[in-house]
Chain A
Amino acid sequence: MYHLGTRVRKIHTSKRSAFQTIGGDPAFLILDKKIQKNLEHEYFKNKNYSPKINYDTQVTLVKYYPGFDPKLLTTIIELGYRAIIFEGTGLGHIGKTLYESVKKAKERGLFIGMTSQCIDGRVRMTVYESGRDLLNLGVIPLDNMIPETALVKAMWALGNTKNIDEMKSLMLENIASEITN
């Protein structure tokens, strides 16, 4: 079994089957010594690439937990980070105590994306009130993007544009199956 880098998670520290594709089928399967392709996205039909190998590492991945100190977020902002990817709870939530800092981050023009701590599934921030609050604060739900993928993608996006609107549309554009149906 072969996995796509954008969709794979290491789910066990040592087992042979430590790597698993999340939210989709593996990219390639070996059946009867033959490699069977399993990729259907338009991107994989494209034979000509013009890679944009720029990145900016001023992005951080923040896992939310009860008791999370909002000052940590303030510090991240003050350190000059340009984007924050949250690993929120469930459908994509963080506590009310963080709202002020999130607001401040938005004012400073940071990109704030939301992924989930859950292993599988997509964030959906219209279901609960706290999700809707965060949407109103300008947090961008990143569908079923894996947090680590979102982090790296944000670094890449930031390397290719400094415009927050462009960055937002890059983050939401499904480029290499980082978002699946």
Chain B
Amino acid sequence: MTEINLDKIGLRVGLEIHQQLLTNKKLFCNCRPLESDEYVIRFSRKLRATKSELGEYDPAALFENRKSKTIIYYANPQSSCLVEQDEEPPHEIDLDAINIALIIACSLKSSIFSEIHTMRKIVVDGSNTSGFQRTMLVAQGGYLDVEGKHVGVQSLCLEEDAAKLIKDKETERSYSLDRLGVPLVEIALEPVDVSPSEIKKIALTLGRLLRITKKVTRGIGSIRQDVNISVMGSGVVEVKGVQQLDQLEKIIEYEAKRQHGLILISERLRNLKLEKVLKNDVFDATELFRSCNSKIIKKAISDGSVIKSIRIKNFAGLFSYEPYEGIRLGKELGQLVRFYGIGGIFHSDELPNYGIENSDIQRLQKLLEISSNDGFIIIAGENSKIDFAIDSIIKRIEDAKNGVPAETRGTTPSGETVFLRPRPGASRMYPETDIPPLVITDDQIKLAKTNIPKSWDESLIDIQRKYALNAQLAEQIFDSEYLHLFEKICLDKRHSPNFVASILCSTITNLQRQGLNISLLKPEDVLKSFELLSTNKIAKESIEIIFESIMSNKAKSVEEAIKKSAITSLDETKLNMILDNIIHDNIKIIMRDGIRSLAPLMGIAMKELRGKVSGEQVNQLLEKKIQDLLLDKNKN
């Protein structure tokens, strides 16, 4: 195994960014883009792939169709209506969203089309009730300036966001309709041959260009990156849903390694001049395995699964050939079948193992009429699914001879990519017949041009001046999800912007790093906490305690968090009493150490008072009390 040299494999990466727009209503109806806590409407659908109006099936659609899941939708009348339920045609396109898209197009110096045509893009994973996503090509061309270098823009589309996945089980998938129809722009950049770290810089620059318009939403899920990755001689692989920039580099590196690895595998396969695997290479081996001791096989048979085996001549050693660490054809095949609801496969290179013994293998080789030079796959599954999976395995082995198949992949938390579905073809797009073309007027473009925001650097200086923040905090707050919230909180002049910024940028991030769940902390909770602070109902220190309590799911609201953590603002008499008690209990230490006893006593006091009174106040009061005491002592 060797280390990969990214410069020499012709790595090209194209970024595609999806950013939700900040509008008052959804793209095709008057519903407001809200997150609901409860859903009063529930309905279910089965989605089928149909031919597009051009008479063709989309491969990705057919693929999803084979899984035949029931889709359950949850809706709230506040955030969705009959349009989202696909019970009513779309209303007029929201002009606000169009205008924001035009501003973004202008700041990327893209050429805007004089007419916008809505298209339907087939999506049958159920994330759109209609089975398609509406998308409008708004502009093409232009460039993004990344530290002086120009990165070309391929296209800028205005789209409706998809429904949010809630649950995905074997036969059932659930979505919430809150997010369906929220406007978003999709910006596709030209593929570039730069290092993964430079790609991160490009993504950051584009993200910032969008954020300074102040017309885009923030928060987890409001911006998503897809990456198109290819190496020399490979098909383009689209990796979907990279949510964090830090993950981007890792994923590109992994994918580059995987693709180059697959090319190395394909070279070896081609040298062997293998025969094509055909249908008559598939055998039913259920009877043969009835006497097998493997627990997995036994369970499959008792569950009523059939067991089939595929023979592949001259394939011994090729499933486990590993040009780079973790890149094997066997692994690719295992991931592939999982998407047909099948747990995995066994291949000849990993056996005997998993309870499958030498004797089983010999009997299987006899059935398949093969020798130890040949390879085989064992697969178990329900009769209804297994043939689809076998077809896809045969196709994948054939594809392996050509290197990297074009496909759509997802990401794992560890920064790897996994097979999601075949890459959609051109037939997935067809015209939306319910919406007439929209003419973009010169006045609209003129207006957009006058609304191009200031540059990132200028915006930073503005915010630094306005709130007297240092450069680092200003950048942090601008890059964070909390700019709107920050500005809202700072409307109340009693707050120090520096304190607010550091709570939003570092305190919350720290809690997140400790593994707490940021999605539990709602903007209203943050606002409420600061409101309580400004009216002296809680101390500065309490804010972190409240957030911690909510983010660790110990409390559902600020009020509950306060109650549970026993945060109350103490009145002075009580505070004096507590401090007097502490002094009384520790009088010996004070007499011995004098004013130096302040530090240990502070520790004792804060244990009791944390979150109820600010540390500063306790410190002042305690110091005074000790000094008074010492003075008294000296007098005597």
Mark A residues whose CB is within 8 Å of B: 91, 121-122, 124, 126-127, 132, 181
Contact = CB atoms under 8 A, between A and B. Distances in A.
A181 B82 CA distance: 10
16 contacts: A121-B82, A121-B88, A122-B88, A124-B88, A124-B89, A124-B91, A124-B434, A126-B89, A126-B434, A126-B435, A126-B436, A127-B89, A132-B436, A181-B30, A181-B31, A181-B81
A127 B89 CA distance: 7
Question: Dominant SS at the B interface?
Answer: loop
A122 B89 CA distance: 9
A19 to B, nearest CB: 22
Which of the listed residues A91, A121, A124 has the most CB atoms from chain B within 10 Å of its own CB?
Answer: A124
A91 B434 CA distance: 11
B89 A91 contact: yes
Contacts of A181: 30-31, 81
Nearest to A25: B77
A132 B433 CA distance: 11
Question: Dominant SS at the A interface?
Answer: loop
A85 to B, nearest CB: 21
Interface in B1-52: 30-31
Interface in B357-380: none
A37 B91 CA distance: 29
B34 to A, nearest CB: 14
Nearest to B25: A181
Interface in B37-82: 81-82
B587 to A, nearest CB: 64
A91 B91 CA distance: 12
A127 B92 CA distance: 11
Lowest 4 A-B CB distances belong to which pairs? Answer: A124-B89, A127-B434, A127-B89, A126-B436
A18 B404 CA distance: 67
A101 B433 CA distance: 27
Nearest to A122: B88
Contacts of B434: 124, 126-127
A98 B526 CA distance: 61
A126 B435 CA distance: 6
Nearest to A121: B88
A126 B431 CA distance: 13
Interface string B423-445: 00000000001111000000000
Nearest to B29: A181
A125 to B, nearest CB: 10
B81 A127 contact: no
Interface in B86-101: 88-89, 91
A132 B437 CA distance: 12
Contacts of B91: 124
A69 to B, nearest CB: 30
Nearest to B82: A121
B92 to A, nearest CB: 8
